[in-house]
Structure 1
């Protein structure tokens, strides 16, 4: 009979998420993951199957605990007319705060899209699904803000705002002022 698990899985995944978010999948060495999580290599492999299994759990945690709560007001049955502005301003505040993890490290999934792990089809599908989820939420915000806009115009504004959000999340690690300008441009559109 195996030993009982003596650690909080969510806490371990969050600790690993911070390492992957900061360093990227490839650079996140097992010793760094062991130190962050407090688990040894065999416990990581027993609980998650592999470093990649831990990464996949970290990505799900990121989506559920970081991305979706921020998008939630844009996905409700009734989206407030100012929901997109509130979302963009909240994201801007997060990127403007030099102490925030997002300002320093951008987006875990956008970072993965530019790394070698993006050659993995599952990662590519996850990044594409994330981008689609974010674009759909932004589209709902645009529709709530401009209920009378023609469909083509609303789609153009939503596509542009979503692209500016992606640009901001990609840029913040190296050009925070440029990231903030991207969000200011999105705010000016709406």
Structure 2
């Protein structure tokens, strides 16, 4: 009879997320994950199959607990006219606070997208799906905020706002002021009053 597990895999994935977010997939070693989760190497491999298996579980946690709650107002059946502006301002506030993970480490998935990935690796599809989900949410936000726009201009505006968000989340670790400026510009493109740029904290 197998031994009864004394840990919750969801809790383990949540703890591992912090390590992967700090160091990335390649930079996180098994001892780092043992320290983060409190699990032994054998428990990690038995439950998740590999370091990559635990990373995949951490990515699911990242999407479900961090990304999607922020996008939820843009994915609701009825999207408020200010939902996209609220999303952009909330993202900006998270990037402006160096104590928060997004400001300190950027986006886990976009960081992974800039790392070497083997051809055919399923992680590429996860990143593409994330980008599509973000783009769709932003498009719905643009439609609610700017019902005066025809399809062509609305698509152009949504694409521009999505690109600004992706660029900001990619830049924020190394160029926080540039990241904030991109979000300010996205708000300006949307027709919102430009936010006050907050200098990055050294």
Classify the TM-score, shorter chain.
over 0.9
- What residue number does 2:67 align with? 67
Deviation at 1:148?
2.3
| Structure 2 residue runs without a partner (length 5+) | 191-202
Cα distance in 1 for residues equivalent to 2:21 and 2:117:
13
Matching residue of 1:29:
29
Matching residue of 2:55: 55
Structure 1 match to 2:152: 152
Question: Take 2:160 and 2:45, find their aligned partners in 1: how far apart are those partners?
Answer: 42
Counterparts of 1:70-89 in structure 2 under 5 Å? 70-89=70-89
User: Aligned residues, how many?
Assistant: 190
The residue aligned with 1:91 is 91
Runs of 4+ in 1 over 2 A off after TM superposition: 117-121
* Equivalence for 1:103: 103
- Identify if the C-alpha distance between structure 1 residues 179 and 119 changes in structure 2 by more than 3 Å, giving closer, same or farther: farther
Deviation at 1:118, TM superposition (A): 6.3
Partner of 2:137: 137
Task: Give deviations 1:13-70, integer Å, cap 9, x for gaps.
Answer: 1111111111110110000000000001000001111111101001111110010000
CA deviation map 1:76-110 (0-9, x unaligned):
01000000000000000000001001100000000
**Offset at 1:119?**
4.5
Q: TM-score, normalised by structure 2?
A: 0.92
The whole-number CA distance in structure 1 between the counterparts of 2:128 and 2:51 is: 22
SS where residue 25 of structure 2 aligns? Answer: coil
Structure 1: tracts of 5 or more residues without a match: none
What is the alpha-carbon root mean square deviation over aligned residues?
0.9
Between Structure 1 and Structure 2, which shows a larger proportion of helix residues?
A: 1
Report what 1:13 is aligned to.
13
Structure 2 CA distance for aligned equivalents of residues 92 and 112 of structure 1 = 21
Describe the superposition over 1:133-172 as per-residue Cα deviations: whole angstroms up to 9, x where unpaired: 0000000000000112110100000000000000010001
| Structure 2 residue 162 is the aligned partner of structure 1 residue 168 | no
**Residue 2 to residue 44, structure 1, CA distance change in 2 (3 Å):** same
CA distance in structure 1 between the partners assigned to 2:142 and 2:96 by the alignment: 24
Following superposition of structure 1 onto structure 2, how do residues 118-137 of structure 1 map, counting pairs within 5 Å?
A: 119-137=119-137
Displacement of 1:121: 2.7
Report the CA distance shift for 1:97/1:163 in structure 2 as closer, same or farther (over 3 A): same
